[in-house]
A and B are shown apart, each in its own frame.
Chain A
Amino acid sequence: SQQGEEDPQALSIQEGENATMNCSYKTSINNLQWYRQNSGRGLVHLILIRSNEREKHSGRLRVTLDTSKKSSSLLITASRAADTASYFCATDALGGAQKLVFGQGTRLTINP
């Protein structure tokens, strides 16, 4: 079944450093999206990358997509304490009803 899987499961870095999280999936997709979730809160949409795109930027976020490897990465540059959260990738299957399949997430901790 289609599944997004992130690695690492947990990442702890110092403020100011860059954080890289990876996601892999199994089936062909329309899009891949990244979401952030603060503890016990809702999901905040960060960025969407289409299957025909290879890289996308939004502020301090950089997302890459390699459809041949069925993988994506999310880079957060110059991290801040407020970036502490869980990050999830979510894919929607080609030809599907736009439902999203989420990975397990990466728990990112930024140490001041």
Chain B
Amino acid sequence: EPEVTQTPSHQVTQMGQEVILRCVPISNHLYFYWYRQILGQKVEFLVSFYNNEISEKSEIFDDQFSVERPDGSNFTLKIRSTKLEDSAMYFCASNSNGWEAFFGQGTRLTVV
């Protein structure tokens, strides 16, 4: 069964460093998303991406964040200068019709 894959599963980084989280959405999907979940809290929407551009972003998604679809398969989230409060689980999701979203297993980002 097709699935969304994310790498790495766990990333530890120094505060102020740049990180890139990678995702391979399901191949025929058109809508791509990033969400995050701070430990013990709810899942929060960061950004949606469709037709090679951002379609919506949340207040969390400030200038430190960017997304790219560099080729036909990858979808990346970059955090330019990480802060302690960026520590969270980051989930990538995709869907084909804008409805049922399929999520990856997540990348646990720890900023120290």
- Closest-CB distance, A13 to chain B (whole angstroms): 22
Residue of B nearest to A98 (CB): B98
Cα–Cα, bound, A18→B100 (Å): 26
Cα–Cα, bound, A88→B44 (Å): 12
CB <8 Å contact, B43 and A42: no
B20: Cβ under 8 A from any A Cβ? no
Cα–Cα, bound, A54→B74 (Å): 37
Question: Which of A10-61 touch B at CB < 8 Å?
Answer: 30-31, 33, 35, 40-45, 48
Cα–Cα, bound, A98→B100 (Å): 9
Chain B contacts of A100 at CB under 8 A? 33, 35, 43, 45, 93, 101
- Closest-CB distance, B87 to chain A (whole angstroms): 14
The tally of residues in B whose CB lies under 8 Å from a CB in A reads 27
A99: Cβ under 8 A from any B Cβ? yes
Residue of A nearest to B104 (CB): A42
Say whether, besides A96-B56, A98-B98, A98-B99, A43 and B43 are in contact (CB < 8 Å): yes
A64: Cβ under 8 A from any B Cβ? no
Chain A contacts of B45 at CB under 8 A? 99-101
Say whether, besides A33-B100, A98-B48, A102-B42, A43 and B56 are in contact (CB < 8 Å): no
The list of the 3 closest CB pairs from A to B, nearest first, reads A42-B105, A98-B98, A97-B56
